[in-house]
């Protein structure tokens, strides 16, 4: 007798994280992948989301949908970031519960932690101090998502898990010159400088801020691994009721080191100019990944390898235009 496949919904499948999850899940023969475009489903429309879940008979759910952006976008559009992310999380998690979806994975962000968290940042640092002001609205929305999952677990016995990825990069990132994070912003700037034969590339900040970067395919692997664990293993030592787990590499580098590495990979022969008057956020941020490694998973893709692959992909995309 042929076994029925697990119906897994990935919300946000057109984003960088959602695409990586779909690439991985599509390789699983026992999985029937479910997705919906923005035209097909408005995630901020509660009624539409509830109807979608009632129709689809979903077994598992990866919540990767979010409104995201870099420092500039978070500063300029704080209302958009907090409102849209809260609506997406509330609508989707409640609809999943109402449709009796027992397994869910919520993807948050490392910006949930206080600005002055002890380094590397452990999961226990959550709600222990003030947030980084430049992305506080987005961070508060992501914290609400964690607490939604915890609350449904406590009240209804759901298996709703939360993971907090470090800074991500990879194919299908947002390369907008103003709205992007540091790696896609640098990739875009270097590409334009090479094409236009520009003598320099200007970078926000002093270059001394340190960040941890992870390839999005590693994130997808970690998410799939954590979802495959039985609840007893996943929840071991977590309070309250299966709280969040950090996903990262445990290794950081300075923005200056990152820029120099990308300069080498891209072959840009101009100068890197650091704008010390521009904001650069928290000076040091790296995640403690002891819980994740204790559960048996570690990152595989080295930064130099991942950036080289990203540069090749980006150049191919631009040639295809």
**221 closest CA partner among 152, 163, 279, 145:** 163
Burial label, 88 (beta-carbon count in 10 A; 0-12, 13-18, 19+): buried
For residue 28, what are the CA distances in angstroms to 4, 57, 103? 13, 19, 17
SS3 315: helix
Task: Tell me, yes or no, if the pTM score tops 0.85.
Answer: yes
Query: Any idea which residues carry the catalytic annotation?
Result: 138
**pLDDT tens-digit profile, the chain (321 residues):** 345 799 999 999 999 999 999 999 999 999 999 999 999 999 999 999 999 999 999 999 999 999 887 777 788 899 999 999 999 999 999 999 999 999 999 999 998 999 899 999 999 999 999 998 888 999 999 999 999 999 999 999 999 999 999 999 999 998 887 767 899 999 999 999 999 999 999 998 999 999 999 999 999 999 999 999 988 878 776 655 447 999 999 999 999 999 999 999 999 999 999 999 887 777 888 999 999 999 999 999 999 999 999 999 999 998 766
Q: Do residues 123 and 243 lie in contact, with contact meaning Cβ atoms separated by under 8 Å? A: yes
Interatomic CA distance for residues 227 and 115, integer angstroms: 29
Instruction: Print burial letters for 218-254: b (CB count within 10 Å at least 16), e (below 16).
Output: bbbbbbbebbeeeeeebbeebeebbbbbbbbbbebbb
Bridge partners (DSSP) listed for residue 247: 165
What are residue 49's phi and psi, to 5 degrees? -65, -45
Structure tokens given for 124: 């226990």
16 appears as a binding residue in the annotation: yes
Interatomic CA distance for residues 229 and 65, integer angstroms: 23
What are residue 39's phi and psi, to 5 degrees? -70, -30
- By DSSP bridging, strand 210-211 and strand 253-254 are antiparallel
109 appears as a binding residue in the annotation: yes
The runs of H, that is alpha helices, within 157-254 are 182-195, 216-228, 231-234
For residue 259, what are the CA distances in angstroms to 1, 16, 85, 309? 56, 21, 31, 16
227 appears as a binding residue in the annotation: no
296 appears as a binding residue in the annotation: no
SS3 205: coil
197 appears as a binding residue in the annotation: no
Domains annotated for the chain, with CATH where assigned, are: 6-173+213-250+286-301 (3.40.50.720)
Q: Which residue has the tokens 């977590």?
A: 238
């Amino acid at each position: 007798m042929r076994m029925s496949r697990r119906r897994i919904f990935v919300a946000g499948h057109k984003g960088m994280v959602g695409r990586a999850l779909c690439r991985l899940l599509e390789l699983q023969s026992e999985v029937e992948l479910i997705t919906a475009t923005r035209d097909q489903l408005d995630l901020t429309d509660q009624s539409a989301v509830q109807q979608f879940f009632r129709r689809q008979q979903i077994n598992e759910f990866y919540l990767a949908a979010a409104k995201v952006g870099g420092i500039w976008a978070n500063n300029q559009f704080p209302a958009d970031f907090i409102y849209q992310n809260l609506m997406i999380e509330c609508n989707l998690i409640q609809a999943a519960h109402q449709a009796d979806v027992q397994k869910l994975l919520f993807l948050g962000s490392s910006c949930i932690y206080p600005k002055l968290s002890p380094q590397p940042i452990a999961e226990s640092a959550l709600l222990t101090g003030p947030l980084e002001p430049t992305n506080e609205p987005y961070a508060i929305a992501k914290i609400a998502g964690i607490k939604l999952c915890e609350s449904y677990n406590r009240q209804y016995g759901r298996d709703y898990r939360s993971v907090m990825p470090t800074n991500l990069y990879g194919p299908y990132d947002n390369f907008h010159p103003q709205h992007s994070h540091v790696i896609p912003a640098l990739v875009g700037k270097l590409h334009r400088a090479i094409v236009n034969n520009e003598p320099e590339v200007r970078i926000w900040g002093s270059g001394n801020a340190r960040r941890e970067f992870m390839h999005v395919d590693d994130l997808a692997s970690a998410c799939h691994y954590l979802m495959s664990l039985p609840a007893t293993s996943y929840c071991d030592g977590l309070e309250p009721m299966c709280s969040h787990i950090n996903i990262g590499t445990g290794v950081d580098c300075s923005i200056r080191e990152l820029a120099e590495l990308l300069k080498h990979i891209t072959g840009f022969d101009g100068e890197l100019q650091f704008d010390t008057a521009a904001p650069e956020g928290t000076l040091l941020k790296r995640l403690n990944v002891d819980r994740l490694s204790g559960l048996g998973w570690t990152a595989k893709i080295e930064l130099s390898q991942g950036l080289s692959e990203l540069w090749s992909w980006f150049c191919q995309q631009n040639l295809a235009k």
